[in-house]
C-alpha cells in the first residue's frame, strides 16, 4: 500500500530555534492518525511544512509517494480556526465554496455538481440551516464546522486538520469524530492535531508523538505508553499524573475481561 | 462643464481607490495609502534628477518604483523581522520619506522641486490642463489618465478576484492550494502604488487617503458580503464626490476638504444607523420573548 505522508529529515527552524527537528516517518493510508505533543512542540509547523506553506530548512516530504505539487488537489488543509479573521464579509456558503475552487481551479464557474457538493458538505456537518449566515455571526464550534465543510467540499483523499476539536462542545466533538470515522471508512486518510490525552486512544488508530523531534510514531497500541507519553510531555508532576490517569483508564476495561 | 470635469475626476479616483480600499481594510492595511504618499518622494526626486523634467511619465515611474520599494520593506519587516504590520508600515515609509527629504536638500541648489508641487495636486485645477485629439477638445488630461488607471485596476481585480479574496481571508488555506500569498500581495500593492501616485497628482494626497479608507470602512459597517461591500464603497465614494463638490461651491471652500468631510460624515451616519438598528433589533427580540413568555 502507498504511504499517505512520508517525511525525510524534515526540519524547520524559526529564528535559529528549531520548531521541528529531523522528523522522519512514513504514515499509512486509510487511517485516522493523531498528531500529539505539548504546546509549541511543532504540530502546526509539521502540517504547514507538509503542505508547503513553510519551506523546510532541511529535508522534504512526499504525499502519496509524489511531490505535493502533483497531488495538491487530493490534499485538504484545515487551518487552526483562530488563524483567520471571522469578521471578513462572507457567508458560510462563500467559505465552503472555496473548497470547490481548491479542487477545480480558480477560473472555472461553479457547476450544479459543485453546488450539490457544497450543500452536501454543509449537511454532513449539520450546518445547512446556517448556509446564508454571515461568518461573523457564528459561534466557535460553528466556525469549526464551516472549516470542516470546506474541507469536505474539496473531496480530497488526505486531510490535514489543525486542532479541529478546540472550542467545540462535547456533542459537536462526537459529531465530528463520527464524521471523521465515516470518512476513514470511505478510504480517506486523516491527520489530526489533537490535545486531549483522554480521548486520544478512542479517536486514533495511529499516532505521531512530537516534541520538536519525533518521539514516537506507530499504531496507538504500541506508542501510547507511559514511557513515551512521559518523554513527549516531559516529567512535570501534573502531566505525569494525567498520563497515569489516562493509562489507568486505558487498562480499566481489560481488568474486567 | 467645469463642474462636470471636477466631479468626474473625483469620481474616477473614488471608484479606483474604493475597490482597492476594500481589500486593504480587510488586510488591516488601510494606512498603506498614507505610507505610499510619503514613500514615493525619493522616487520622484530621483526621477526628476535623471530626466530633468516635470513631465508625468518619468515622475510616475519613479513614484511607482518607490511604491514597490516601500511594499517590499513593509513585507520584509513584517515577515522576516517579525514586526507588527502597523510598526512595519510606520518605519518603512518614514525611512523612505527621510531619504526623499535628504535628496531634495542635496539637489535643492539646482532642482526646482518640492513635494507640494508633485504630491499635493489640486482638484480645482484639473479642467485647466486639457488635451486635444486631432485638434478637438478632448477633456482634461487627468481624466484620461485616471480613466485608464481605473480600467487597469478594474481588469486586474476582476482577473485575480478569487485569488485576492482567498489570500486576504485565509492565507494559509490559499497557500495550501498552491497560491503564492506574497505574489498577490505585491500584485495588490502595485495597484495601490499606481493608483495613489496617479491620484495624488490630480486630487492631492489627503483626498486619496480619505478615499482609500473612508468609503470601504463605511461599506464594511453596512454589509457582510464582500462584493456588495465593494459596490457600496464605490457608491459612497462617488456620492461623496458629488455632494462634496456642491458643498464646496456653496461655501466657496476647498473641494478636497469638502469631499473628505462628506466621507467622514457618511461613516458617522452609517455608524449611528448601525447602533440604532442593533438597539431596535434587541428590543424587538426582548418584546417577542416577553410576549411568548406571557
Ligand atoms: N511564525 C513563527 N515565527 C517564529 N517562531 C514560530 C512561528 N510559529 C511557531 N513558532 C515557534 O515554533 C515552535 C512550534 O510552534 P507550533 O505552532 O508548530 O507548535 P504547536 O505544537 O502547534 O503548538 P500549539 O499546541 O500551541 O498549537 C514554537 O516554539 C513557536 O514559538
Ligand atoms: Mg498549533
Q: Is the CB of A53 under 6 A from ligand 1?
A: no
Q: Which residues on neighbouring strands pair with residue A161, listed in sequence order?
A: A78, A192
The answer to the question of residue B91 being in a domain is: yes
User: Does residue A236 carry a pLDDT above 80?
Assistant: no
Mean pLDDT of B50-60: 74
Please name the residue whose Cα sits nearest to atom 26 of ligand 1.
A39
More confident residue, A157 or B54: A157
Look up the domain containing B163 and give its range.
2-209
Query: ∠B176-B178-B184 over CA atoms, to 5°?
Result: 105
Rounded to the nearest integer, the mean pLDDT of chain B is 85
User: Does residue B111 carry a pLDDT above 70?
Assistant: no
Looking at residue B66, which CATH number applies to its domain?
A: 1.10.3470.10
pLDDT digits (tens, 9 = 90+) for B134-169: 777 778 888 888 999 999 999 999 999 999 999 999
The answer to the question of residue B141 being in a domain is: yes
Q: In what order do the strands lie in the sheet with A5-14?
A: A58-63, A5-14, A17-26, A213-219, A206-211, A32-36, A189-193, A158-161, A75-78
Mean pLDDT of B59-71: 83
The pLDDT of residue A255: 41
More confident residue, B282 or A183: A183
Mean pLDDT of A198-219: 91
Q: Return the ligand 1 atom nearest residue A48 CA.
A: 18
Residue B229 near chain A (CB below 8 Å): yes
Specify the number of domains making up chain B: 1
Most confident segment among A205-209, B120-124, B280-284: A205-209
The answer to the question of residue B227 being in a domain is: no
Residue B237 to residue B140: CA distance in whole angstroms? 21
User: Does residue B207 carry a pLDDT above 50?
Assistant: yes
Q: Return the ligand 1 atom nearest residue A210 CA.
A: 21
Q: Which residues on neighbouring strands pair with residue B81, listed in sequence order?
A: none
Query: What count of CB pairs under 8 Å joins A to B?
Result: 70
In eight-state DSSP terms, residue B39 is H
Residue burial A160-178, b: 16+ Cβ < 10 Å; e: rest: bbbbbbbebeeebbebbbe
Name the interface residues of A facing B (CB cutoff 8 Å): 15, 48, 51-53, 69, 72, 75-77, 79, 83-85, 88-91, 94-95, 98, 101-102, 106-107, 134-137, 150
The rounded Å distance from CA A223 to ligand 2 centre is 21
Q: Which residues on neighbouring strands pair with residue A58, listed in sequence order?
A: A11
The pLDDT of residue A156: 92
Q: Which residue shows C-alpha cell 469536505?
A: A152
The pLDDT of residue A237: 52
* pTM attached to this predicted model: 0.87
User: Does residue A45 carry a pLDDT above 90?
Assistant: yes
Mean pLDDT of A180-205: 91
User: Does residue A197 carry a pLDDT above 70?
Assistant: yes
User: Does residue B190 carry a pLDDT above 50?
Assistant: yes
Percent of chain A surpassing pLDDT 90: 50
Mean pLDDT of B229-251: 95
User: Does residue B83 carry a pLDDT above 90?
Assistant: no
A112-124 and A140-154 helices, crossing angle to 10°: 140
User: Does residue B115 carry a pLDDT above 60?
Assistant: no
Q: Which residue shows C-alpha cell 489507568?
A: A248
| Range of lowest pLDDT (A31-40, A56-65, A228-237, B77-86) | A228-237
User: Does residue B114 carry a pLDDT above 80?
Assistant: no
Mean pLDDT of A171-196: 92
Percent of chain B surpassing pLDDT 70: 93
The pLDDT of residue A257: 37
Please name the residue whose Cα sits nearest to atom 11 of ligand 1.
A19
User: Does residue A167 carry a pLDDT above 90?
Assistant: no
Percent of chain A surpassing pLDDT 70: 90
The answer to the question of residue B277 being in a domain is: no
Q: Which residues on neighbouring strands pair with residue A192, listed in sequence order?
A: A34, A161
CA distance B290 to chain A (A): 24
The answer to the question of residue B215 being in a domain is: no
Residue in B closest to A137 by C-alpha: B224
Sequence-distant (≥ 6) Cβ neighbours of residue A33 within 8 angstroms: A4, A27, A189, A190, A191, A192, A204, A205, A206, A207, A208
Nearest residue, CB atoms, B169 vs list A69, A88, A137: A88
Mean pLDDT of B12-37: 90
More confident residue, B232 or A252: B232
More confident residue, B131 or A119: A119
C-beta atoms surrounding B292 within 10 Å: 7
Mutation test of ligand 1: which of A16, A35, A43 has the most ligand atoms closer than 8 Å to its C-beta?
A43
Residue A144 to residue B71: CA distance in whole angstroms? 33
The rounded Å distance from CA A40 to ligand 2 centre is 7
- Chain A residues inside the 8 Å CB shell of B216: none
Residue A195 to residue A165: CA distance in whole angstroms? 9
Rounded to the nearest integer, the mean pLDDT of chain A is 87
Residue A60 to residue A52: CA distance in whole angstroms? 10
In eight-state DSSP terms, residue B141 is H
The pLDDT of residue A143: 93
CA atoms within 13 A on the CB side of B156: 20
The answer to the question of residue B98 being in a domain is: yes
The answer to the question of residue B29 being in a domain is: yes
The reply to whether residue B224 touches residue A91, judged by beta carbons under 8 angstroms, is: yes
Most confident segment among A200-209, B182-191, B230-239: B230-239
Is there a contact between A110 and A97 (Cβ–Cβ < 8 Å)?
yes
User: All 3 cell numbers of residue B193?
Assistant: 502604488
More confident residue, A41 or B134: A41
Q: Rg of the Cα trace of chain A?
A: 19
Please name the residue whose Cα sits nearest to atom 17 of ligand 1.
A44
What is the rounded end-to-end Cα distance, in angstroms, of chain A? 35
The reply to whether residue B172 touches residue A48, judged by beta carbons under 8 angstroms, is: yes
Is there a contact between B166 and B177 (Cβ–Cβ < 8 Å)?
yes
Q: Which string of DSSP letters, residue by residue, matches B53-99?
A: S--HHHHHHHHHHHHHHHHHHHHHHHHTS---HHHHHHHHHHHHHHH
Nearest to B169 by CA among B184, B154, B189: B184
The pLDDT of residue B185: 87
Residue B180 to residue A109: CA distance in whole angstroms? 21
Per DSSP (E only), the strands in A120-253 are 158-161, 189-193, 206-211, 213-219
The pLDDT of residue B109: 58
How confident is residue A256, by pLDDT bands cut at 50, 70 and 90? Answer: very low
User: Does residue A219 carry a pLDDT above 90?
Assistant: yes
The answer to the question of residue B82 being in a domain is: yes
CA distance B80 to chain A (A): 9
More confident residue, A37 or B48: A37
Nearest residue, CB atoms, A102 vs list B26, B177, B228: B177
The reply to whether residue B162 touches residue A101, judged by beta carbons under 8 angstroms, is: yes
The reply to whether residue B175 touches residue A53, judged by beta carbons under 8 angstroms, is: yes
CA distance B159 to chain A (A): 9
C-beta atoms surrounding B149 within 10 Å: 20
- Chain B residues inside the 8 Å CB shell of A150: 173
The reply to whether residue A53 touches residue B176, judged by beta carbons under 8 angstroms, is: yes
User: Does residue B211 carry a pLDDT above 70?
Assistant: yes
More confident residue, B202 or B227: B227
Nearest residue, CB atoms, A89 vs list B178, B179, B223: B223
User: Does residue B121 carry a pLDDT above 70?
Assistant: no
Q: Which string of DSSP letters, residue by residue, matches A79-138?
A: --GGGS-TTSS-BHHHHHHHHHHHHH-SSSPP-HHHHHHHHHHHHHTT-GGGTTSBGGG-
Tell me, what's the ipTM?
0.87
Amino acid at each position: 500500500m502507498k504511504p499517505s505522508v512520508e517525511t525525510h529529515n524534515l526540519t524547520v527552524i524559526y529564528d535559529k530555534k528549531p520548531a521541528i527537528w529531523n522528523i522522519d516517518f512514513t504514515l499509512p493510508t486509510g487511517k485516522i492518525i493523531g498528531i500529539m505533543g505539548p504546546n509549541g512542540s511543532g504540530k502546526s509547523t509539521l502540517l504547514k511544512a507538509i503542505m508547503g506553506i513553510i519551506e523546510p530548512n532541511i529535508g522534504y516530504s512526499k504525499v502519496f509517494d509524489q511531490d505535493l505539487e502533483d497531488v495538491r488537489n487530493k490534499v485538504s488543509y484545515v487551518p487552526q480556526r483562530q488563524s483567520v479573521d471571522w469578521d471578513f464579509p462572507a457567508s458560510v456558503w462563500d467559505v465552503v465554496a472555496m473548497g470547490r475552487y481548491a479542487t477545480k481551479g480558480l477560473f472555472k464557474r461553479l457547476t450544479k455538481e459543485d453546488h450539490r457538493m457544497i450543500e452536501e458538505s454543509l449537511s454532513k456537518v449539520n450546518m445547512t440551516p446556517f448556509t446564508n449566515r454571515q461568518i461573523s455571526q457564528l459561534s466557535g464550534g460553528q466556525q469549526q464546522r464551516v472549516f470542516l465543510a470546506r474541507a469536505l467540499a474539496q473531496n480530497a483523499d488526505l486531510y490535514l486538520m489543525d486542532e479541529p476539536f478546540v472550542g467545540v462542545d462535547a456533542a459537536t466533538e462526537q459529531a465530528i469524530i463520527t464524521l471523521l470515522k465515516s470518512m476513514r471508512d470511505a478510504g480517506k486518510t486523516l491527520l489530526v492535531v489533537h490535545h486531549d490525552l483522554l480521548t486520544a486512544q478512542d479517536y486514533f488508530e495511529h499516532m505521531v508523538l512530537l516534541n520538536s523531534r519525533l518521539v514516537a510514531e506507530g499504531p496507538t497500541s504500541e506508542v501510547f505508553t507511559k514511557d513515551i507519553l512521559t518523554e513527549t510531555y516531559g516529567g512535570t508532576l501534573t502531566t505525569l499524573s494525567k498520563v497515569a490517569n489516562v493509562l489507568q483508564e486505558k487498562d480499566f476495561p481489560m481488568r474486567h475481561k | 462643464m467645469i463642474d462636470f470635469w471636477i466631479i468626474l475626476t473625483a469620481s474616477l479616483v473614488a471608484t479606483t481607490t474604493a475597490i482597492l480600499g476594500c481589500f486593504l481594510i480587510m488586510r488591516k492595511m488601510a494606512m498603506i495609502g498614507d505610507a505610499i504618499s510619503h514613500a514615493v518622494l525619493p522616487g520622484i526626486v530621483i526621477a526628476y534628477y535623471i530626466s530633468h523634467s516635470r513631465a508625468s511619465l518619468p515622475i510616475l515611474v519613479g513614484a511607482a518604483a518607490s511604491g514597490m520599494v516601500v511594499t517590499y520593506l513593509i513585507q520584509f519587516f513584517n515577515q522576516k523581522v517579525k514586526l507588527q504590520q502597523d510598526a512595519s508600515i510606520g518605519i518603512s515609509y518614514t525611512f523612505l520619506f527621510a531619504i526623499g527629504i535628504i535628496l531634495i536638500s542635496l539637489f535643492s541648489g539646482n532642482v526646482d522641486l518640492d513635494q507640494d508641487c508633485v504630491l499635493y495636486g489640486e482638484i480645482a485645477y484639473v479642467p485647466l490642463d486639457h488635451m486635444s485629439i486631432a485638434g478637438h477638445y478632448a477633456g482634461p488630461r487627468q481624466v484620461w489618465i485616471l480613466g485608464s488607471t481605473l480600467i487597469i485596476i478594474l481588469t486586474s481585480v476582476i482577473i485575480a478576484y478569487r485569488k485576492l479574496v482567498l489570500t486576504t481571508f485565509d492565507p494559509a488555506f490559499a497557500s495550501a492550494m498552491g497560491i503564492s500569498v506574497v505574489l498577490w500581495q505585491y500584485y495588490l500593492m502595485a495597484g495601490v502604488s499606481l493608483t495613489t501616485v496617479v491620484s495624488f497628482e490630480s486630487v492631492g494626497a489627503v483626498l486619496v487617503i480619505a478615499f482609500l479608507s473612508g468609503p470601504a470602512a463605511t461599506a464594511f459597517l453596512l454589509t457582510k458580503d464582500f462584493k456588495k461591500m465593494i459596490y457600496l464603497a464605490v457608491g459612497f465614494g462617488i456620492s461623496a464626490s458629488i455632494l462634496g463638490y456642491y458643498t464646496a461651491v456653496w461655501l466657496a471652500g476647498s473641494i478636497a476638504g469638502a469631499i473628505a468631510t462628506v466621507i467622514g460624515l457618511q461613516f458617522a451616519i452609517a455608524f449611528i444607523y448601525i447602533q440604532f438598528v442593533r438597539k431596535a433589533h434587541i428590543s424587538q427580540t426582548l418584546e417577542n420573548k416577553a410576549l411568548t413568555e406571557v
